[in-house]
Chains A and B, each alone.
Chain A
Amino acid sequence: MHTPRANWAIFILYSFTVLVIFVVALISPALRQTFYAPLRDWILPKPKPIEISVLYSTEKEAWLNEVIADFEKSDARVNGRPVQVTLEKMGSREIYLSVLDGTRKPDVISPASSLQIAILQDQSAGKFPVPVVNLADRQSCRSIVTTPLVVVAWQERADVLWGGNPNSHMWTRLQEAVLNPQGWNSYGHPEWGYLKFGHTDPLKSNSGFMTILLMTYNYIGKTSGLTSADILSDTAYQQWFLDFESTITQFEQSTGPLMQKMVAYGPSTFDMVAVYEATAIEQAENAVGRYGELRVYYPPATVWSDHPFCVLNADWVTPEKAEASNLFIDYLSSKPVQEIALMKYGFRPVDPSVVLTQPGSPFERYTANGFQADLSGLPTVEVPSGNVLNTLLEFWSRNVQR
């Protein structure tokens, strides 16, 4: 039992401590956060979160799933309301089709490339009061990571075909080779059968779409200014293109599985495939010690899978949601998140301060496989208007689709 005097002393000490904590908490923001916020949350109703929905293309799945948790932890808020992101993966074409036909009303879309944004911009014109996307507005539509289209080949076979690196006629040479009735026999290797090239289904996968665009530009001999007339009126091109495509019996629906098949089945099934550089990086390690060396080849002119994140210019995207969306996109552009995209997933960050060739990066580890960090000398073809792109897809869909 304490004496009454001791009880009195304990009471004073206790009251004093509480008073000190209260005063410090009022003065120090950090402590206020610690003590006051839980109290407030406990007493007051929680602010309703701002929910934003993001439809994104499958290539970014692993990266986004890895970094989303840290965004949630960062407690980003707009007008005091926390931001909650719902991510949903989808094929790039499906993304814009679902917006166009009204079945989905996302706040942000991120297909694999600007090709889909161009089509959406073009086709939404008649359906919405204002275009739902605008690539020219860098604030609402930003590329976050990039990766170019490459051709991945078994080096032993590519060496026989190209004797080093392919020249500016890569696609036309490849077309001749896949159609050669003697196959690899013409190159002194009857045991390799026919040259088998693969790309994904352009209607389902952006890399297939980019491949047929590059093939078309290369044959027509341009790197910009592709028109619908080039596609629809040039019968020599059509013949050339359809012959090329006739050698592909099955189009994979997605780039990742195509590259996995390349590695799992080996050169018996695909001598070469057109995929993203990042997809090739993902499998570079797996290919070691399997069927020989895999090597990447950059086409004479490429097109970039630039992963635009676009906040839709639509009535369901309130100013608050737009602001919340931008917070999320800012987070994805932040250096640590960009570094993860590079180091673990082989994407090229848009943040120029992230060094591509830093130790441990894929561009440092796989130089022997032909990966090049510096592509400043590589020409890029112009992304045609949505109308022209759609003509190309339609042409493929009518004449090739299986």
Chain B
Amino acid sequence: MKRLQVTLAVMMTFSLLISACQGGISLGKKITVSIVYGSEKQAWLEPLVAEYNAANHKTAEGSTIVVEATPMGSIESVDAIIGGTMQPTVWSPASSVYVPVANAEWRKTHSDDLVADNPKDLVLSPVVIAMWEPMARALGWPDKQLGWADIAGLAVSDEGWAAYGYPEWGVFKFGHTHPGYSNSGIVSIIAEAYAGAGKQRGLTLDDLNDPKVSQFMVAVESSIIHYGVSTGFFADRMFERGPSYLSAAVMYENLVVAQESKRIEGTSQQLPVAAIYPKEGTFWSNHPYAILNAPWVTAEHKAAAQDFEAFLLDKPQQLKAIELGFRPADPSIPLTSPLDPQHGVDPAQPKTVLEIPPAEVISAIEALWKQVKKPVDLVLVVDTSGSMAGSKITAARSSLMQFISLLDDRDRIEIITFNSDLLTLTDLSPVSEKRQDAITRVSGIIESGNTRLYDATLLAYQELQDKADPKHIRSIVILSDGQDTASEKTLNDVLAVIGTGNLEGGNAIKMFTIAFGDDADKDILKQIAEATGGKQYDSTPENINKIYSEIATFF
């Protein structure tokens, strides 16, 4: 009897093993399709990636396809690919605008284009200027078509909204993302250059040398409250903080639809928002799905990536895109609700587009923008208390040095370190005069003593109040690894002082705080940052460099 039982058990184990092998469960091969994509489509793509992976799709070779998708600024990601720090299978930026530049850069070290053939579009959304509806109406919208020139006019006006009978709205506050990181940033500055040159196509390097182009760009950029890494973040800030923070920002139509859907459902209490389709023309955010023509993309990778592409372009997935405010790439799907005026958008727009300039012109516009962008007056506040000893102080030093190297010559910085004492390493003055000196000083900071976080914060704030140019972006970046132990002032003192900035809305002094290590008081740092419209980051010695780099995108 026992023998029979043993035999049965052996047979069952065997059959289980065989069925597992046949099913390919856990024993089968896998192929990973890595995708870096413009973060604007995260809400659409993320659930679809999960759905696709759960269905265990296979390649012809029998490998299970695993999609790993990472949201990232469209320009930042391709820079990383060209720089060799990232090797994804697919690059899906927010639009095709930067593809010629990416190819030109790639060809410096390769014989072929990085993005060969014309990639297919996944979803569409026009680039729009999102403006609070009452403000748009004050400008004559919807009867009057508005454009980039109107934005420039508002931006240079000292009177701001008072000129339109609304002094309570203050000055015109405008936003677009950083062109070095994000697609909407690059298209914003291309559109500014076109408007400055009075053209809609055929923009040349000669046009960019015409002073009227840079003057126009200076005018628009003067109203920027800050730049930023992603369009989604900008939209969140605008729709959370309301009209006093930002009057208008360059974003995508789908983000307006998403916000209006929230407002209609009652989950947002803000004023309505209107999508303005610039009358001079705009660009499409067409979310191309570029399977990279790169040595690390094998034929099987390509086939697997195409399988996922087909899934995304299939009707059910395209229909989901409409719900989120995108226009589907599949023309057989009608443009229905929520793509309607109730949600702030006009599906019959845009009426015309601007021509995508050649790579060298786009690069020249980026260079020109660096000269005309709004400079930052920045105070860097660094905790040098005793608890920073070891890897923390080493990482803090090197990341600060890297951060200073990212700033532009016209930016001005001051550096304050704090422990039991407050020490000003260098006063507020242009980076051009002291970049190397500041880097050297930072390389020499040492740790000891207590933590006077509040006193240091207030000192930095006072310094900017007294010395900064109100026409510059004004900002404080604070790094701290512990709780305040020795300040004369309290958190309430700090919040009371920085709260007075609220009257300036988006132009207030903004604080970015970095909670460094596990002992940092994240909650307090968050309160300080958010009171100003800034942002709080959690950081470790391993990623502090990345955090500083992200903060740099605001300037």
Q: Does B284 contact A (CB under 8 A)?
A: yes
Query: What A residues does B280 contact at CB under 8 A?
Result: 193
Interface stretch (choices A78-86, A98-106, A284-292, A369-377):
A284-292
Contact of B348 among A196, A263, A264, A291 (CB under 8 A): A291
Is B124 in contact with chain A by the CB < 8 A criterion?
yes
Complex contact B331–A268 (CB within 8 A): no
Interface 1/0 per residue, A260-287 and B, CB below 8 Å:
1001111111000000000000010111
A194 and B117 in contact, given A290-B334, A290-B335 (Cβ under 8 angstroms):
no
| B333-385 interface (Cβ within 8 A of A) | 334-335, 347-353, 355-356
Asked if B352 and A192 sit within 8 Å, CB to CB, the answer is yes
Q: Which residue of B lies closest to A258 (CB)?
A: B118
How many residues in B have their beta carbons less than 8 Å from beta carbons of A? Answer: 31
Instruction: Determine the chain B residues whose CB is within 8 A of the CB of A266 once the complex forms.
Output: 348
Contact in complex: B201, A194 (CB < 8 Å): yes
Is residue A33 contacting chain B, with contact meaning CB distance below 8 A? no
CB of A193 within 8 A of CB of B353, answer yes
In angstroms, how far is the closest chain B Cβ from the Cβ of A195?
A: 10
Q: Which residue of B lies closest to A289 (CB)?
A: B334
- A70 within 8 Å of B (CB atoms): no
Q: In the complex the two chains form, is A191's CB within 8 Å of B356's CB?
A: no
The smallest beta-carbon distance between B268 and chain A, in angstroms, is: 29
- A183 at interface, CB cutoff 8 A: yes
Q: Does B281 contact A (CB under 8 A)?
A: yes
What residues on A are CB-neighbors of B330 within 8 Å?
A: 264
Verify B331–A269 contact, CB threshold 8 A: no
Q: How far is the CB of B296 from chain A (nearest CB, A)?
A: 24
| Assembly CA distance A283 to B333 (angstroms) | 11
In this complex, the interface size class of chain A, counting residues with CB under 8 Å from chain B, is 20 to 34
A248 to B126, CA, bound (A): 20
Q: How far is the CB of A236 from chain B (nearest CB, A)?
A: 22
Q: A192-B351, A268-B352 are in contact. Are A252 and B118 (CB under 8 A)?
A: yes
Please name all residues of chain B whose beta carbon is closer than 8 Å to the beta carbon of A193 when the two chains form the complex. 200, 280-281, 351-353
Question: Could you tell me the dominant secondary structure of chain B's interface residues?
Answer: loop
Cross-chain contact A268 with B351 (CB below 8 angstroms): yes
With both beta carbons as reference points, the residue of chain B lying nearest to A190 in the complex is identified as B279
Chain B 109-127 against A: per-residue CB contact (8 Å), 1 yes, 0 no? 0000000011011001010
- Establish whether residues B331 and A263, one from each chain, have CB atoms under 8 Å apart when the complex forms: yes
Chain B residues within 8 Å of A194, by CB = 200-201, 352
Task: Chain A residues near B279: list those with CB within 8 A.
Answer: 191
Set of chain A residues within 8 Å of B284, measured between Cβ atoms: 265, 268-269
- By the criterion CB–CB under 8 Å, are B353 and A191 in contact? no
User: CB distance B327 to A249 under 8 Å?
Assistant: no
A253 near B: Cβ within 8 Å? Answer: yes
A165 at the interface (CB under 8 A from B): no
A317 to B347, alpha carbons, bound, how many Å?
A: 55
Partner of A250, one of B118, B331, B332: B118
B145 interface hit (Cβ, 8 Å): yes
Interface flag for B258 (CB, 8 Å): no
A29 at the interface (CB under 8 A from B): no
Interface residue A221 (Cβ < 8 Å from any Cβ of B): no
Cβ-closest chain A residue relative to B280 = A193
Contact pick for B332, options A191, A286, A291, CB 8 Å = A286
A379 at interface, CB cutoff 8 A: no
- Give the distance in Å from the alpha carbon of A173 to the alpha carbon of B201 in the complex: 20
In the assembled complex, the CB of B107 is this many whole angstroms from the nearest CB of chain A, namely 14
Q: Closest 10 CB pairs between A and B? A: A193-B352, A263-B331, A268-B350, A286-B331, A264-B331, A191-B351, A286-B332, A268-B353, A193-B281, A193-B200
Taking A264-B124, A268-B350 as known contacts, 18 extra A-B pairs with beta carbons closer than 8 A to each other, sorted by chain A number, are A191-B145, A191-B279, A191-B351, A191-B352, A196-B353, A247-B201, A249-B355, A260-B331, A264-B328, A268-B281, A268-B282, A268-B351, A283-B331, A287-B331, A289-B334, A290-B334, A290-B335, A291-B348
Q: List 12 A–B pairs whose Cβ atoms lie within 8 Å, in order of A's numbering.
A: A191-B145, A192-B352, A193-B200, A193-B351, A194-B352, A247-B201, A250-B356, A265-B284, A266-B348, A268-B350, A283-B331, A290-B334
